[in-house]
Structure 1
Amino acid sequence: MSSHTRLALTAIAIILGVAFVSGTYVFTDTIKGQFDSLFTDIYQGVDVAIAAEGTGVGSADVPFDESVLDIVTAVDGVEIATGGVTGFATIITTDDAGDPKIVQNGGAPTLGFAWSDVSRLSPLSIKDGNGRGPTTSSEVAIDVGTAAAQGFKLGDVVKIQATGEAEDFTIVGLMSFGDQDSLLGATLSAFEMTEAQRIFGLEGQFNSIGVAAISGVSAADLARDINEALPAGIIAITGQSQQAADLSEVNDSLGIINIALLSFAAVAVFVGSFIIQNTFRIIVTQRTRELAMLRAIGATGRQVIVMVVVEALIVALFASALGVVVGIGLAGAIRSAMNAAGLAVPPGSLVVLSRTVFVGMATGVIVTMLAALLPAYRASKVSPVAAMRGETRVRKTTMRKRAITGVSISALGLVFLMTGLFGSVGNAIANVGGGALIMFIGVSVLAPLAARPIANVIGAPLPKIFGITGTLAKENTKRAPRRTASTASALMIGIALVTFVAIFAATIKASIAETVDEAFPSDFTIQSSQLGEDPNIPMTFSRDLVGQVDALDEVAVAGAFQFGEALINDEKGFITAVDPAKAESLLTIEPAPGALDSLTANTIIVSEKLLKARNWTVGESVTITTPLVEDVPFTVTGTFARTEFGDYLISTEVFTQQYEPTGDGFVAVKLAPGVSLEEGRVAILEVTDNYPTTELQDKSELVADAEKQIDGALALFQGLLGLAIFIAVIGIVNTLALSIIERTREIGLVRAVGMSRRKVRKMIRWESVIVSLFGATLGIGMGLFFGWAVARALEDEGLGKFAVPFGQLMAYVVIAFFAGLIAAVWPAFKAARLNVLEAIAYE
């Protein structure tokens, strides 16, 4: 095998790592570009945008009185102005069984608007032949993409649910958004203005006003003049400024996605670095005599280092460039997958910035060079005479130093990890991530010390089953512990991370099941089946629903709960609103005596844990800022123990004064005595069927739904971490292939004394399996530790029940076993095909 072929698999590891990095940048930059184009369409004709100033809390637009429009149109320089109303409007169809079915593409939102005939100020348009805009309360226009996907046509009657019950509307128009037939997979519905205000609970109000200036009037001057006329709390800014603000919010969200994907890319690159280092170490070892000859005829140690590093640089440049290209293709594949999932990403060229190329190339080159430095340094330190005799064995003193170094590095990583989990530090995530990284390095340094005993245990059955072939496979992994450990370390990292994720997910599921059982004395819950703008706050639904359910004969009590973001003494938090008369019968919050009864105007009760953390006392005065009001004084009048529903509770009556009344976020239902779950379900469904976006669940269904969501996230994480495991398998292939070159003469000798090709293949396969299972053993052990540590750190946050998914861990062992078999296919084939005479003569 030529040196170029030796490095080919190493190049694959670099290519995959760089592809993940560059593909992430290309994908997010492309999405950013599409949103930039989208907001350009939205604000193309808007010179000035007007909205309520708000308090800076929450993401939703605060509505304001529609009379503001008259004030704006009276300002000199305004050519035309129109009010805007937005909300969530979900189209309802029926499934094959005739049950209500929500029209939604993946997690894309279901948006509703007030139709405007002022095309200059609206991105919504209807092309010739696609009907017209709605003009009466019973009409609607929907986007072309949704109509095509659902088979809707002009004149069809569809059910749409906004804040109240689902209602019938006739489709009179098929809309486009700018030049596109859909908006990133969202469903779009437009209603006549007054109707939009009614169904979104905004009678007599707007969310925004768009203004077009008379020709010759600058947007900045017009915004200034409008601000002088506007009442307090309403602000006008230029359309360009509003566009920049909206785009900034999107970029912030994409930045989080970018960081998350780059974290997985970093794992892949980190795993790849082990393969690169191991490959160069083996190659340098195989070329020891060659390098010794160069030293003997005058080459310095520095020149040997430069020679190895330059070789690494050439591989890195080639592989990194190819990795960038593969990354561009990966970004295109992700976009295609999103389109297949119904998220309708607009067509267009992928955005490849110079930064992407630079970061991708730099990542590949720097990681490769650093990984190659240690083997190069070691090669320069080998005595020419010793090298020509083939003396490269590791001394016991070196192993002692390795033990001290490995323990020291692992201890340092443990300190960082525990400080991040249990200490009070500014950036806990950085400490946890950095600690885990350092611990991986420490365990990798220590791994050669464990290679012989663990390989001995794993390989113990092989001699009994396969005779001399099994014995040779076991002994070959034991005699080169550094090579075995270095190869297994890459797989160890991947297995450790998927093990940690599996344990964390199992712990969350077990804790949720325990929490639901203990914290919900109610029989049923009702909540929206859709996601809201803020993942911490559930989507709301009509407040009429809880009254209708509470009035049923089969129901003893039904109570609604609302949730909102707030600043409490200038610190971000989330407030839960409860009905003090019903809360204790529906939820287990363990309030202090009299705490719930104390919930009246401008009073709040807080969790015991938070009271202690803030050094507050009952009777303390705090200020609360919500999206509507700022610095409202509240008095802490009591405490409660359980925090499943948040750390702050106020009454629903007070909540409606502090927040725009958009609906309930959650309803708990307790059945009347003697009513079975099935009887109660039938009765409640007669009400909830009128609100198709809501979901009725008993305790077991609530737990199952939560577990389904966790399993979906688990599958995503495992898929992303699967790349690291794939790279690790490539490392096993690479190491085995290189070790065959190293052992060419040995393999020739065993063939010469009678070992068949089949047995040679079997020997190589079982070596590979032992290495894979060694890596899985270390990985599962580290994953168990990480999972336990994180679960204990988050015990006060609701993770009270540590769980280990033994079935999944066994599955990882099986996967490692077959990964070892697959990794050995090509090296085993090459070993079995060696010419016996040439192999015996090999030097």
Structure 2
Amino acid sequence: MLRLTLRSLAAHRLRLLLTALSVVLGVAFVAGTLIFTDTMDGQAADIAGRLGRGVAVEVRAKDPGGRTRGVSVPVPEAVLRDVRRVPGVRGPVGVVSGYAALVSRDGTEVAAQGAQTPGVLAQAGGNWIPGGDYPLKTGRAPHGPGEMLVDEATAGRGGYRTGDEATVRLKGASRTMRIVGLVGSGDLAGRTLALFDTPTAQRLLLRPGDFTAVRTASDGVSEEVLRGRVAAVLPGDLEAVTGTQVRNELRNDLAALSYVGGLLMAFALIAVFVGAFVIFNTFSMLVAQRTKELALLRAIGASRGQVSRAVVGEAFAVGVVGSTLGLVAGTGMAALLQVILDEGPTSGPAFSGLAVSGTAVAASYAVGTVATVAAAYVPARRAARIPPIAALRDDVASPQGASKRRVVTGTVLAGGGGLALLAGLAGSGLTAQALVGLGAMLVFLGVTVLSPVLSGPVIELLGRGLPRWCGTPGLLARRNAQRSPRRTAATAGALMVGLALVGTVNVLGASMKASVGSQIDASFADDYLVLPVRGNSVDADAVTRVASTPGIARTTPSYTGDVELDGTRVEYGAGNLPTLMASVAHRMVDGGLDTGTDGVLVEDDLASAHHWKVGTVLTARFPDGGRQEVRVAGIYPLVGFGNAMLPESLYKAHTPLPAVHALNLKATTADAATLTALRRSLAAYPDLGIYDRSAWKREKVQSLDQMTGQITLLLALSIVIAAIGVANTLALSVFERTREIGLLRAVGADRGQVRRMIRLEAILIALFGAVLGLLIGLGFGIALQHAMAGLGFDVLVVPAVPLALCAVLAGVIGVAAAVWPARRAGRMDVLTAIAHE
């Protein structure tokens, strides 16, 4: 049987290679994703081993950087003195870190390269420590308030050399300093570094006498023992962790660069799922076409198991070939991802750092072969059931219609899914959203099962005008598409999946854009908004310039920060609360805006979750280490300022380096002259964006457009696989109907009419898949929009033009997929075709 399997593969090599191509595309995404994430993880481990090497224990705030829910408090200099007295420590040092961005000669901040990593500042400032993470490459160490070091890559991008003066932008202020040396980045390439001596770093980034952390090496004591000794001398807001834990956390932060891996894996699995439709259809048709051959095998003694194993063996071979080619393509894709995303922490050629692990290889072969064999399992069982007597028949016996069991199963699945959708839409919260997701999945499965039942009437409707417009070829195309409902449904199923997802994404994207636009229209009560395009604050000098601009009647700065309210970490906005609330045109849910010096406003969902009411007294813990009792003065709807709002006085009382996050501006006359004057005032700050209502709306909508476009582009892979499936099915169908096509030619059909018949059949099949897919996508999109209405996406929009373009695309796919099969059909020799068995 092995020899027979190999001969069968050779006889059908072109069709099976087309099938293998769908496996290649899916496996390439799986392999590329795994190789990319393994590479990032390996590089992250290497960097984490070098950054912080020699550190045995680190003292820091509990829950630093908001890893769980805490706010980061500074480490006082007194703690460093206490740590120095702990037995077993060696060379303890205080570490200072914060935001600092080098400004290039054109006035823009030198941007960090690549994607920003959670937990790692992209534009970082700190104190330079001799022998620390960042070795001095040229120049000397900084001394005094006017000197700094920058990393070599940042200096090159900014056009600076040692000895030049440069502006460094800090939180809320800028400083002009001299670059006295260049350092290496510790192989954490991509981010920018500005380093100062310790007193200067404390003054610019924290406050005098404070550190972000204290690190120490060990003098012959294990990390765990030393950690316990250090922890014994710490106050309650601080913790001691081992150097191993610090490096592991940094490794995890750096490995988060491969966040794209999860997204790509989702699309890879979609591609594999769509490819399964193609594989199933191909093997179903091959089994049907080889009925007599397989029956003869049974007649001469082959058992059912042998016949079944022969078909499965062919599928296994296709899976192995497709997986091998997919693994090679995936390796190239991983290298391309490093280049496109510019996320490789190390330098050098893209392929030099790739980590092709055994896991990636095994997963690629497992996905490719398992998916192929699983998709071919049903056709293989069907082949085993062919009776020997079928060898005497002239016709090809293959199931055409839909069984009663299929109708019942599909109806139950679709009906159950519809009930789950209705229950989810009627409820709220996570349970309702889960019901919507379950309902959508069941409806999709139900429609997939029922698609052979639906194919006849839908294609009848779609092709009703073909006989009138295209004559006999149109009539034959419609009947050919209706001849085998299962085959038509399986062929269109791959396209249905892709377009259902595209339709869902586009409905959600359009609804989100409309919702955001509606919210901006309702809440943008001032005339202008000034906000950093890059960076995290508005320079104090820029605030002064804006306030003195002709035509600006009122300037309202807002601030942001983190605070713990009764142990819950909350992101807040701060400023002149009556003016800020007026700028977003929102009324209070309860209470008022008179907060005094100890009052706060909380967002209504947060208040409901914790049962806070007006007058509730909370314990606030601030990043400066201070604690204060505050009272809930008012409750407001979500307005874009965070989950809480603090008066400006409370913010500044606990913020050593206050920084303006944004400026809300009211103009005497919001005209072109005022806007021109405002732009002139901020000409020295090109990183600040100036927005009126329409510009702010465009800014927000554009980001949603980009997200929708990127997801649609990735989903295009499934549509490409679907097109391969249509072409493969038509090619097999042409071979199956060789004699029929010969008879058509014999009774007068010319080559052009035959080709037209095949093209129209392909278009009908593609449009059938598009109609089902877009209707499903439209339903899913509407359901998800309703489920997300409580999150602010309360406007439903059905994007008619993009959905219509998808339908047109389906027709184009049909035409493209039919090119080769139609040409092959048209070139058949009439006598040879008639004599074909």
Question: What whole-Å deviation, never above 9, does each CA across 1:528-582 have from its counterpart, x for those lacking one?
Answer: 2237xxxxxxx44457765764565633333333444566666665444353332
- Mean CA deviation greater in 411-420 or 44-53: 411-420
DSSP-derived class of the 1:721 partner = helix
Rounded Cα–Cα distance in structure 2 between residues aligned with 1:289 and 1:416: 47
Within the candidate set 32, 40, 58, 2:49 is matched to 40
Distance in 1 separating the partners of 2:33 and 2:237: 41
Separation of aligned partners in 2, 1:453 and 1:506 = 31
Partner-residue secondary structure (3-state), 2:557 = strand
- State the partner residue of 2:214: 209
Q: 1:574 to 1:16 in 2, by over 3 A?
A: same
Q: How far apart in 1 are the matches of 2:304 and 2:799?
A: 52
Q: Mean alpha-carbon deviation: is it higher for 46-55 or for 799-808?
A: 46-55
What's 1:773 paired with? Answer: 767
CA pair 794-571 structure 1, distance change in 2 beyond 3 A: farther
Q: Which amino acid aligns with 1:780?
A: L
| 2:191 match | 186
Aligned with 1:601 (options 598, 602, 607): 598
Determine whether 1:246 maps to 2:250: yes
TM-superposed CA distance for 1:420, in Å, is: 6.0
Query: Aligned residue for 2:185?
Result: 177
Gaps spanning 5+ residues in structure 2: where? 1-9
- Where 2:558 maps in the other structure, the secondary structure is strand
CA contact (8 A) 1:791 1:802 kept: yes
Counterpart pick for 1:500 among 488, 500, 504: 504
| Aligned equivalent of 1:70 | 81
Measured in 1, the distance between the counterparts of 2:757 and 2:112 equals 55
> What's the offset of the Cα at 1:638?
3.6
- Give the Cα separation in 2 of the matches to 1:355 and 1:428: 37
Cα distance in 2 for residues equivalent to 1:748 and 1:695:
69
SS of aligned partner of 1:511? helix
Tell me whether 1:123 sits opposite 2:120 in the alignment: no
1:758 Cα deviation after fit: 3.3
In structure 1, give the amino acid aligned to 2:233.
A
2:3 corresponding residue in structure 1:
none
Distance 1:561 1:661 in 2: 14
Matched, 1:527 2:531: yes
Deviations, residues 446-484 of structure 1 (Å, cap 9, x unaligned): 222222333233334443443323332232212222222
Counterpart secondary structure, 2:364:
helix
Decide whether aligned partners of structure 1 residues 571 and 395 sit closer, same or farther in structure 2, where only a CA change above 3 A counts.
Answer: farther
**Contact 1:26/1:356, CA 8 A, preserved across alignment:** yes
Cα distance in 2 for residues equivalent to 1:690 and 1:74: 50
Deviation at 1:655, TM superposition (A): 4.3
Deviations 1:121-143 (A, max 9, x none): x221233xx33333343333322
What is the rounded CA distance, in whole Å, between the counterparts of 1:410 and 1:627 in structure 2? 53
Give the Å deviation of 1:499. 1.7
Are the equivalent residues in 1 in contact too, given 2:98–2:206 (CA < 8 A)? Answer: no
Question: CA 1:148 to 1:656, structure 2 compared with 1: closer, same or farther past 3 Å?
Answer: closer
One of 662, 666, 669 as aligned partner of 2:665: 669
- What is the CA distance between 1:731 and its match in structure 2? 0.8
Deviation at 1:739, TM superposition (A): 0.9
Is 18-27 or 685-694 further displaced after alignment? 685-694
Determine which of 579, 583, 595 is the counterpart of 1:582: 579
State which of 362, 367, 372 in structure 1 corresponds to 2:371.
367
Q: Which amino acid aligns with 2:665?
A: V
Distance in 2 between residues matched to 1:4 and 1:86, nearest whole Å:
62
CA distance in 2: counterparts of 1:23 and 1:767, whole angstroms: 36
Distance in 1 between residues matched to 2:724 and 2:546, nearest whole Å: 59
Q: For residue 536 of structure 1, what is the aligned residue in structure 2?
A: none
Task: Return 341-350 or 18-27, whichever deviates more.
Answer: 341-350
Decide which of 26, 31, 34 is 1:25's aligned counterpart.
34
> Please, what TM-score do these two structures have when normalized by structure 2?
0.89
Tell me the alpha carbon deviations over residues 742-786 of structure 1, each in whole angstroms, 9 at most, x when there is no partner. Answer: 111112222233333333333222222222222222221111111
Report the CA distance between 1:601 and its aligned residue.
1.5
Q: Distance in 1 between matches of 2:721 and 2:252?
A: 36
Residue 261 of structure 1: how far off its partner (Å): 2.1
Spell out, residue by residue over 1:286-313, the C-alpha distance to the aligned partner (whole angstroms, 9 max, x if none): 1122223334445454444333223222
Q: Distance in 2 between matches of 1:242 and 1:248?
A: 10
Shift in Å, 1:275? 1.0
Show the 5 A alignment for 1:588-627: 588-592=585-589, 594-598=591-595, 601-607=598-604, 617-620=613-616
Aligned counterpart for 1:510 among listed residues 511, 514, 523: 514
Given that 1:90 and 1:693 are in contact with CA atoms closer than 8 Å, whether structure 2 keeps it comes out as: no
* CA apart distance, 1:408: 1.6
Alpha-carbon distance in structure 1 between the residues aligned to 2:659 and 2:203: 14
Q: Contact 2:74–2:624 at 8 Å: present in 1 too?
A: no
Partner SS for 2:190: coil
How big is the shift at 1:69? 2.9
Q: Is the 8 A contact 2:147 2:179 kept in 1?
A: yes
Distance 2:518 2:326 in 1: 46
The whole-number CA distance in structure 1 between the counterparts of 2:88 and 2:608 is 57
Whether the 8 Å CA contact 2:453–2:485 is kept in 1: the answer is yes
Which stretch shows the higher mean deviation, 820-829 or 414-423? Answer: 414-423
Residue 753 (structure 1) aligned with residue 743 (structure 2) = no
Q: Is the 8 A contact 1:85 1:208 kept in 2?
A: yes
Determine the structure 1 residue equivalent to 2:478: 474
Residue 517 (structure 1) shift? 0.9
Q: Which amino acid aligns with 2:177?
A: F
Whole-angstrom distance in 2 between the partners of 1:22 and 1:615: 48
Tell me the equivalent position of 2:141: 133
Q: Deviations over 1:361-404 (max 9, x none)?
A: 222222222212222233344555467533636576x4443332
- 1:647-796 equivalences under 5 Å are 647-656=643-652, 663-672=659-668, 675-685=669-679, 688-689=682-683, 692-796=686-790
TM-score (norm: length of structure 1):
0.88
- Could you tell me which of 9, 23, 29 is aligned with 1:14? 23
Structure 1 counterpart of 2:101, which letter?
A: T
Instruction: Report the Cα distance in structure 2 between the residues aligned to 1:80 and 1:613, rounded to whole angstroms.
Output: 47
Cα distance, 1:705 vs structure 2? 0.9
Give the secondary structure class of the aligned counterpart of 1:169.
strand
SS of equivalent to 2:526: coil
Q: Specify which of 533, 539, 554 is matched with residue 551 of structure 2.
A: 554
The one-letter code matched in structure 2 to 1:332 is A
Once the two structures are TM-superposed, the CA of residue 22 in structure 1 deviates from its matched residue by 1.8
Does 1:309 pair with 2:317? no
Measured in 2, the distance between the counterparts of 1:580 and 1:338 equals 41
**How big is each residue's C-alpha offset from its partner over 1:304-344, in whole Å with a ceiling of 9 and x where there is no partner?**
433322322232233223322322221112112223x9987
Counterpart contact for 2:432–2:787, Cα < 8 Å? no
Distance 1:83 1:515, change over 3 A: same
CA contact (8 A) 1:477 1:484 kept: yes
Corresponding residue of 1:463: 467
Name the CA distance, whole Å, in 2 between partners of 1:298 and 1:437: 45
Q: State the secondary structure of the residue aligned to 2:104.
A: strand
Q: Distance in 1 between matches of 2:327 and 2:379?
A: 27
Distance in 1, Cα, partners of 2:716 & 2:405: 34
Structural mapping, 1:374-389, within 5 Å: 374-385=378-389, 388-389=392-393
CA 1:413–1:632 in structure 2 vs 1: closer, same or farther (change >3 Å)? farther
Q: Relative to 1, partners in 2 of residues 1:577 and 1:246: Cα closer, same or farther, differing over 3 Å?
A: same
Q: Equivalent residue for 2:827?
A: 833
Note the residue ranges of structure 1 that are not aligned, 5 or more in a row: 532-538
Report if aligned partners of 1:213, 1:222 keep a CA contact under 8 Å in 2.
Answer: yes
Residue type at the aligned position of 1:320: S
Contact 1:740–1:827 at 8 Å: present in 2 too?
yes
User: Number of aligned pairs?
Assistant: 819
Q: Secondary structure at the match of 2:139?
A: coil
Alignment partner, residue 165 of structure 2: 157
| Aligned position for 2:321 | 318
SS in 2 for 1:371: helix
Kindly provide the CA deviation profile for residues 790-824 of structure 1, in whole angstroms up to 9, marking residues without a partner as x: 11111121112111222222222232222222222
AA of the residue aligned to 1:806: A
Matched letter for residue 185 of structure 2: F
Distance 1:208 1:769, change over 3 A: same
